[in-house]
Amino acid sequence: MAAAIHLILFADYFDLRGIALGMPIDNTYLWHGYRYREFSETSWWRTWAPLMESIGLDLLLPIAGISEASAVHIVQQAGLGNIVSSCLRAKHPGCGRCWKCFHKNGMLGHPYDIEAREIQAFLGKRPVRTATHALWWVGEQNHWDQVPDLHHLKERDFSWWVKHHPPAFDLLPDWIRPSIQSAIEDATEPIPEDSEFYTWNLFPDTE
């Protein structure tokens, strides 16, 4: 919430109804990006949503039910893929050597060096940082040789990663839900009720 302090302070001046955060499913319904949880029951949501409401603002999480992958696909569909960059270290198209260039900018077709020190460091960490998204991308690019101890995860069904979690719409207030829900439903399919997502845990031996 620190990133929204200035908006909260100026909410009356700008007549804001809510504060939106770009938290994808990687951080909402997945704990540390690798294990499913019911986000609406977490202490974070139960603390911040009522607190924001108490000062007259709705806490908006428009992409809570979609992954970073789906968010990037939506950006591409909007024709913005050639101008955006997640890299914080270099101008567009990025440095090609950081973690963001690997798992975000790489999706946009920007080059990256899989052997770069930071990328190798994060691929070697267990649990893998932003695990589900990173390993989905590993699979998409056939980089399994970079994580030989995780070859067994090749058999997991990652197809839900580019779909949306319908219950996330319930987190949105009525005044803005229809437009967000319609846009996401137009761009992605719903995660099936029998999907592995609901029991997802890539690193069950990790406390």
Residue 72 and residue 154 share a domain: yes
* Residue 207 domain flag: no
Residue 176 and residue 117 share a domain: no
For residue 79, give its domain range.
68-159
* Residue 204 domain flag: no
Q: What is the pLDDT of residues 42-67, one digit of tens each?
A: 999 999 999 999 999 999 999 999 99
pLDDT of residue 115: 97
The answer to whether residue 94 scores a pLDDT higher than 80 is: yes
Residue 72 and residue 155 share a domain: yes
- Domain count of the chain? 2
Assign 147 a pLDDT band (cuts: 50, 70, 90): very high
* Mean pLDDT on 76-89: 89
Please, what is the Cα angle at 87 between 84 and 92, to 5 degrees?
50
Residue 81 and residue 137 share a domain: yes
* Mean pLDDT on 24-50: 97
Q: What is the 3-state secondary structure of the chain?
A: CHHHHHHHHCHHHHCCCEEECCCCCCCCCEECCCEECCHHHCHHHHHHHHHHHHCCCEEECCCCCCCHHHHHHHHHHCCCCCCCCCCCCCCCCCCCCCHHHHHCHHHHCCCCCCCCHHHHHHHCCCCCCCHHHHHHHHHHCCCHHHCHHHHHHHHCCCHHHHCECHHHHHHCCCCCHHHHHHHHHHHCCECCCCCHHHHCECCCCCC
* Mean pLDDT on 18-29: 97
pLDDT of residue 84: 87
pTM above 0.85, yes or no: yes
Residue 132 and residue 72 share a domain: yes
Residue 131 and residue 59 share a domain: no
Question: Distance between CA 98 and CA 81 in Å, rounded?
Answer: 19
Residue 73 and residue 153 share a domain: yes
Residue 43 and residue 92 share a domain: no
* Residue 26 domain flag: yes
Residue 52 and residue 85 share a domain: no
* Residue 205 domain flag: no
Q: What is the pLDDT of residues 67-81, one digit of tens each?
A: 999 999 999 999 988
Residue 170 and residue 133 share a domain: no
Beta pairing, strands 35-36 & 30-31: antiparallel
* Residue 95 domain flag: yes
* Mean pLDDT on 101-118: 95
Q: What is the pLDDT of residues 149-193, one digit of tens each?
A: 999 999 999 999 999 999 999 999 999 999 999 999 999 999 999
pLDDT of residue 1: 83
Q: What is the pLDDT of residues 112-140, one digit of tens each?
A: 999 999 999 999 999 999 999 999 999 99
Residue 138 and residue 86 share a domain: yes
Residue 127 and residue 44 share a domain: no
* Residue 135 domain flag: yes
